[in-house]
Amino acid sequence: MTTVHERVDTFHDNDQKPVGYGRMLRKEDPRFVRGRGRFVDDVRLPGMLHLAILRSPVAHARILSIDTSAAEASPGVKAVVTGAMLAEQGLAWMPTLSNDVQAVLATDKVRFQGQEVAFVVAEDGYAARDALELIDVEYDVLDPVVDARRALEPDAPVIRDDLEGKTDNHCFDWETGDEAATAAVFARADVVVSQDLVYPRVHPAPMETCGAVADFDAVEGKLRLWSTTQAPHAHRTLYALVAGIPEHKIQVISPDIGGGFGNKVPIYPGYVCAIVASIVTGKPVKWMEDRFENLISTGFARDYIMRGEIAATRDGQILAIRTNVLADHGAFNGTAAPVKYPAGFFGVFTGSYDIEAAYCKMTAVFTNKAPGGVAYACSFRITEAVYLVERIVDCLADELGMDPAELRLKNFIRPEQFPYTTKTGWVYDSGDYEPTMRLAMEMAGYADLRREQQEKRARGELMGIGIAFFTEAVGAGPRKDMDILGLGMADGCELRVHPTGKAVVRLSVQSQGQGHETTFAQIIAEEIGIPPDDIDVLHGDTDNTPFGLGTYGSRSTPVSGAAAALVARKVRDKARIIASGMLEVSVADLEWDKGSFRVKGDPGKSVTIQDIAMRAHGAGDLPEGIEGGLEAQICYNPSNLTYPHGAYICVVDIDPGTAQVKVRRFIAVDDCGTRINPMIIEGQVHGGLADGVGMALMEMIAFDEDGNCLGASLMDYLLPTALEVPDWETGFTVTPSPHHPIGAKGVGESATVGSPPAIVNAIVDALEPFGVRHADMPLTPSRVWDAMRGNARPP
Ligand code: MCN
Ligand code: CUN
């Protein structure tokens, strides 16, 4: 089913308050707008000490010696810890979420600029930071490997000599699709277009940096850790495995989080340092990184060097797509991706098109740069996949002299082909692409825009129109083939209805700004008719929520949202039995009417969910075999991912004198299935579109040839502001997921995935008079200028 009309399915309880899905102001915002949010840095415990980390000034060096004596003597300092000291406890290295190891504090070598070398614990943050300057480290500087292409050269310095028998910088190889079948299709195609593309290294740069407060109570033997984490339960299990503290003696609390964007999925050395420091000093210890540390050392995103090849018939039938990728993983493989998917979900690079064959070959390497890779609203690397396919489809349109919208429309997977198995093995659950594309074109006034462009070109003005159409795979995932370090990707949910009909729902996922306190209350409200205001959402505390893998890959709605709907139905099933007792009719004679059960054919006889809650806890008999109370818990294991899609159209104007790009209009039509809260969805889309403007035009973590990070402050790493973004024009279609209990698909990363190719396509389209087929992001004025003069250069 596809409709362009908003589902206004809110209904009313006895007080005429709207409940269920629909636009609703965020329940969390009164707290945030009054400054009452409680973030990790707001945690202040009695006797708390402060930790600061000494970081490597160079990208690659052997550590010859570390002298901590002056730092230890510095006023207020309680402890100075080096890698050698951690090594004595077996804590110098920790596992990453990708089956690699990462140094907590360097012992042998430093492998990227900003790597953790030592830490100081002091009475206050100033004393700790001052003492860092007194630590004397002697480095024997080695040649760094900064470029992924250099990493594979036979004479390149070996970065990971900590790994036994490692003699090169090779991280992993991966392939998907059918190489021979794809080659055969390419061999017989009328047209083959190939294009080199770089998706540069960028950074999620959330407003709140990463940090933790560790409080180890030696008497209880219990560790309490407030930390900036998107996955508190997964982190707890890992701490138990690394630190040897029994899991039930670890409580991870992720309080309010000031933006995550994937930056808060990995476990960082700083968290482990804070834990060690609290155990050593017997006091609570806070570690909070600054902006510089966040940008220089925590999880980056992208850094893929790609070659895209596309084969087609002369009349524009796309036959096959092939890609070769060189992935830069930095010094340690620290990405978080399901174990079977070392390249995340990059395998969906065949996009939204029905093609005959596809093949991807990827090589990942270590370089002397910070670890990371899966972050910044990437849906597990679908950002890179969508950028690849949507750019080369445009290159093909250019080659064929075909309109890019027409080329896409001609090749879409058709609605009757769903569920559709791609040539790389992904089963797209549902989709209806053409109406989404047509709606975007209608909203944009596509034909008029093309006319306007022609007129402008005739006058020497540079106007471009860019299209991107994407399909995402979100909601990892079926636990049979998806896990993070052995933990199956499922999520729990618990719902308790109190005697007076108010409720609390406990989630294993964790909001970083996505509005879960509102939307999860709405899901429960829709199912059991208790108004969202009467439902509290608890998350981010492992002692008080059921186990589950957390928020990333836009999995909260696909996985936990399903869990919430199903747990509510379980409660409703029990409520039905209690209602049958109260109304003295059989269960079969009852019908559910949005918040109450009534006797079929006798609408006057009914009981509300609130009446039932009181009876469930109150005096009087309950039906045979029914226990008191009104609550339930489940663990939801998704049967497939959900596949949202969208059509984006961007209009740019370029100043021919300065090469400055202005994004004049941006039309985004998203289809995330059933929409729980359209206002929140729009907020997610607006944010992601702004991300896209940032990546396409200005963001890049760059390095010089010595491995010095050149984007380590927000003066150099440019983020878009209200001045760079247009008024977004959003629309939607609704193609519900057939396997999700409420038909909802994730949306949190869609716009970040879909917008960069739309913007780059628009810029390349504007530069057509200069014969430009491609230019790499970020398309700063100097890059655009170079492209106009025929020397588009890779980053
Ligand atoms: N939603 C809805 N109807 C749908 C789908 C989603 O109303 N059909 C609502 C959800 O209920 C939720 C929000 O939209 O309130 C996002 O839902 P979902 O797509 O399930 O994504 P997650 O909640 O799992 O959020 C994760 C996603 C990721 S992975 C990144 S990265 C990102 C993003 O969310 N980080 C964010 N958006 C962010 N937004 C903010 N403000 N801060 C971040 O750190
Ligand atoms: Cu790839 S960033 Mo989000 O999945 O946390």
What was the ipTM of the complex prediction? 0.99
Distance 777 CA to ligand 1 centre (A): 25
Q: 370 with 296: CB under 8 angstroms?
A: yes
Whether the pLDDT of residue 12 is over 60: the answer is no
Q: What is the pLDDT of residue 63?
A: 98
Q: Which bin fits 322, alpha (ψ -120 to 50), beta or left (φ > 0)? A: beta
514 pLDDT band, cuts 50/70/90, is: very high
Q: Give the nearest ligand 1 atom to 263 CA.
A: 31
Whether the pLDDT of residue 144 is over 50: the answer is yes
Whether the pLDDT of residue 243 is over 90: the answer is no
Whether the pLDDT of residue 314 is over 70: the answer is yes
Residue 302 pairs with which residues in a beta bridge?
Answer: 201
- Give the largest CA-CA distance in the chain: 86
Whether the pLDDT of residue 2 is over 60: the answer is no
pLDDT tens-digit readout, 209-218 = 999 999 999 9
1 pLDDT band, cuts 50/70/90, is: very low
Comparison of pLDDT for 11 and 58, the residue scoring more? 58
- Nearest ligand by distance to the CA of 230: 2
* CB of 377 closer than 6 angstroms to any ligand 2 atom: yes
Instruction: Give the DSSP H or E segment for 127.
Output: helix 125-132
The percent of residues above 90 in pLDDT, for the chain, comes to 95
For residue 422, the SS3 value is coil
Which domains does the chain show, CATH number per domain? 11-37+490-636 (3.30.365.10), 44-142+226-240+264-288 (3.90.1170.50), 300-476+640-788 (3.30.365.10)
* CB of 375 closer than 6 angstroms to any ligand 2 atom: yes
* CB of 51 closer than 6 angstroms to any ligand 2 atom: no
Q: What is the pLDDT of residue 792?
A: 60
* CB of 516 closer than 6 angstroms to any ligand 1 atom: yes
* CB of 266 closer than 6 angstroms to any ligand 1 atom: no
Angle at Cα 745 formed by Cα 743 and Cα 747, nearest 5°? 145
Among 378, 382, 484, 555, the mutation site with the greatest number of ligand 2 atoms within 8 A of its Cβ is: 378
pLDDT tens-digit readout, 412-466 = 999 999 999 999 999 999 999 999 999 999 999 999 999 999 999 999 999 999 9
Whether the pLDDT of residue 793 is over 80: the answer is no
244 pLDDT band, cuts 50/70/90, is: confident
Whether the pLDDT of residue 368 is over 70: the answer is yes
Whether the pLDDT of residue 703 is over 60: the answer is yes
Q: Give the nearest ligand 2 atom to 555 CA.
A: 4
Which ranges of 164-223 would DSSP assign to H, the alpha helix? 179-188
Identity of the residue numbered 599? V
Tell the residue nearest (CA) to atom 14 of ligand 1: 681
Compute the average pLDDT of residues 369-390.
98
Among the ranges given (35-39, 350-354, 620-624), the one the predictor scored with the smallest mean pLDDT: 620-624
Tell the residue nearest (CA) to atom 34 of ligand 1: 748
Rounded to whole angstroms, how far apart are CA atoms 567 and 272? 35
- Token pair for residue 510? 């964790």
Cα separations in angstroms, 389 against 180, 188, 422, 470:
20, 21, 14, 9
Distance 252 CA to ligand 2 centre (A): 20
CA 71 from centroid of its chain's CA atoms:
39
- Token pair for residue 385? 């996949």
Q: What is the pLDDT of residue 7?
A: 38
* CB of 552 closer than 6 angstroms to any ligand 1 atom: yes
Number of H helices, E strands in the chain: 19, 35
Q: 677 with 685: CB under 8 angstroms?
A: no
Q: What is the pLDDT of residue 783?
A: 97
- Token pair for residue 23? 């636009």
- Nearest ligand by distance to the CA of 671: 1
CA-based nearest residue to 80, from 332, 277, 306: 277
Q: What is the pLDDT of residue 10?
A: 40
* CB of 146 closer than 6 angstroms to any ligand 2 atom: no
- Nearest ligand by distance to the CA of 509: 1
Q: What is the pLDDT of residue 685?
A: 98
- Token pair for residue 325? 């990728």
Q: What is the pLDDT of residue 790?
A: 84
Compute the average pLDDT of residues 92-108.
95
The percent of residues above 70 in pLDDT, for the chain, comes to 97
Q: Give the nearest ligand 2 atom to 553 CA.
A: 4
693 pLDDT band, cuts 50/70/90, is: very high
Q: 424 with 358: CB under 8 angstroms?
A: yes
Q: What is the pLDDT of residue 794?
A: 52
* CB of 444 closer than 6 angstroms to any ligand 2 atom: no
Rounded to whole angstroms, how far apart are CA atoms 431 and 420? 9
Distance 748 CA to ligand 1 centre (A): 4
CA-based nearest residue to 733, from 741, 743, 725: 743
- Nearest ligand by distance to the CA of 346: 2
Among the ranges given (3-12, 57-66, 583-592), the one the predictor scored with the smallest mean pLDDT: 3-12
Rounded to whole angstroms, how far apart are CA atoms 218 and 283? 10
* CB of 265 closer than 6 angstroms to any ligand 2 atom: yes
Q: 286 with 227: CB under 8 angstroms?
A: no
Q: What is the pLDDT of residue 4?
A: 39
User: What mean pLDDT, rounded, does the chain reach?
Assistant: 95
Q: Which bin fits 302, alpha (ψ -120 to 50), beta or left (φ > 0)? A: left
* CB of 378 closer than 6 angstroms to any ligand 2 atom: yes
Q: 1 with 735: CB under 8 angstroms?
A: yes
Whether the pLDDT of residue 8 is over 70: the answer is no
Compute the average pLDDT of residues 156-175.
97
pLDDT tens-digit readout, 526-583 = 999 999 999 999 999 999 999 999 999 999 999 999 999 999 999 999 999 999 999 9
* CB of 744 closer than 6 angstroms to any ligand 1 atom: yes
654 pLDDT band, cuts 50/70/90, is: very high
Tell the residue nearest (CA) to atom 21 of ligand 1: 554
Compute the average pLDDT of residues 69-86.
98
- Token pair for residue 143? 């040649």
